Chains A and B, each alone.
Chain A
């Protein structure tokens, strides 16, 4: 009996979601009185995982797993789970982990709960709290199978450091042939992505046109934030669909979400509810977003945002 966690990396370096998943795995292991084993695939340095509660790392180094492949990755984690006799398997909520998790669950005959936001309230029956109705509610769910797969929501559980250290063992799973081959990857390397961003600066139709996005990008630059937009803006083609945040767009679970010139349609709010701190800047004091926000400025974005950029630059210089 152990808790297994898949700790994903990119170009050899662990992602923050890996440490979040490890922190969650440690909390589950503590509740169950057991240890945490991590599966790392093509990671350069696995020692860092000990800081987040991992006791043992099964380190897979395999050229065939260089590009992400859901079947091959799921199979590798499944083999590790079986070797370790794991009863709980933790994955994160990255696009790749959400891709492989259902395949892994079928492979392990395991019940799967995704979008989990808290440590289990009980481990027998194994009960977790997950978001539902696109963040408009929570669903307390029990996983009734012997083996459980849990997908942890980003930014929900957070990072919990512990003072342990991890031992590392090489692990060589057999890699199944895959029917899906990656031909090319087009990744925006110079920008913070919405999925990874701690801060998201988002703008809507109040910006009046795509030519006015310069100040949104500048504000995002100052804050080290990702840029996003409301649905009408992506529908109008002012910004790419990949920036559309909301019920049918990207969900955002950032620490800070700044909405500029977005009135706050229910579908948009559903997509950003999981963000911790919300700021709205809008000329209309009746905009529904003010009811959902923590902080607000009733004002013209074209006056407030340039001032905010200047003041933030000064703040950053002072607090560097």
Chain B
């Protein structure tokens, strides 16, 4: 089975978010970048397929040279090869189109992407890849089994979960649950050394068009101070929630 894991290079979850150039660009100063958490669950599940069922795992990212450490980390975790599409990620459609091109050329059976990236939260790339490559698609995927060309997946729905059967080629939008958090892997020294020998190919983009553009960013308005209520005066909290906040 040939698996492609799409990796977003995103600010670490604890990063302070700031903007530059008149609030038109994300300010990367002092920001640590990591593998998108939703992609990390998918990468770990891909490692499971590789080890238990035999699979070749390639990771891919659309981005400039600055994203290579993130791809190297994925290689250190155990991916066999990495591809970087050499262009800045501009919008979901452009990224999906570049990735669909990689999928079509590489003939992957299974494409694992995160349900969304934690930076732009668009949640559109996996579905668009599936639509562009005519593959089956399951998102919010919290479990995945593959038996030959048949797959069984579970996905989270509002208020529960749903089990679906489908077949390869398949694209999934994965998330926590695909593997347990405790199963996520930290690259060890051997993995880091081996990653240096693994192929990281840089391919030129097809210059896919964009469909959306960022005009500017805004931060939420500063919040007023908390209104503290004495622990012995719970009635006051109820009063505030009812009369002031109109929340109950």
Write the residues of chain A forming the contact surface with B, with a CB cutoff of 8 angstroms.
68, 70-71, 94-96, 98-103, 105-107, 110-115, 127, 129, 131-145, 179-188, 191, 193, 195-196, 199, 223, 235, 241-242, 244, 247-249, 255-256, 266-267, 270, 273, 276-277, 279-280, 290-300, 303-304, 307-308, 311-312, 315, 319
**B166 touches A (CB below 8 Å):** yes
CB closest chain-B residue, reference A307: B234
Contact B37 A235 (CB under 8 A): no
Contact A311 B238 (CB under 8 A): yes
Tell me the dominant secondary structure on chain A's binding face: mixed
Give chain B interface residues in 168-190, CB to chain A under 8 Å.
Answer: 175-177, 181-182
Cα–Cα distance between A191 and B220 once the two chains are bound (Å): 32
Contact A70 B215 (CB under 8 A): no
**B159 touches A (CB below 8 Å):** yes
Contact B164 A180 (CB under 8 A): yes
Contact A141 B213 (CB under 8 A): yes
Contact B241 A256 (CB under 8 A): yes
Cα–Cα distance between A291 and B220 once the two chains are bound (Å): 14
Report 7 cross-chain contacts, Cβ distance below 8 Å, ordered by A residue: A70-B127, A94-B158, A111-B93, A131-B121, A195-B158, A297-B228, A304-B234
Contact A95 B158 (CB under 8 A): yes
Contact A95 B215 (CB under 8 A): no
State which size class the interface on B falls in. 35 or more
Give chain B interface residues in 201-248, CB to chain A under 8 Å.
Answer: 210-220, 223-224, 226-231, 234-235, 237-238, 240-242, 245, 247-248
Tell me the dominant secondary structure on chain B's binding face: mixed
CB-CB < 8 A to B96: which residues of A? 102
Contact B177 A142 (CB under 8 A): no
CB-CB < 8 A to B119: which residues of A? 132-133
Cα–Cα distance between A137 and B218 once the two chains are bound (Å): 6
Contact A114 B122 (CB under 8 A): yes
Contact B226 A142 (CB under 8 A): no
Contact B231 A300 (CB under 8 A): yes
**B196 touches A (CB below 8 Å):** no
Contact A241 B177 (CB under 8 A): yes
Cα–Cα distance between A116 and B218 once the two chains are bound (Å): 14
Shortest CB distance A265–B (Å): 8
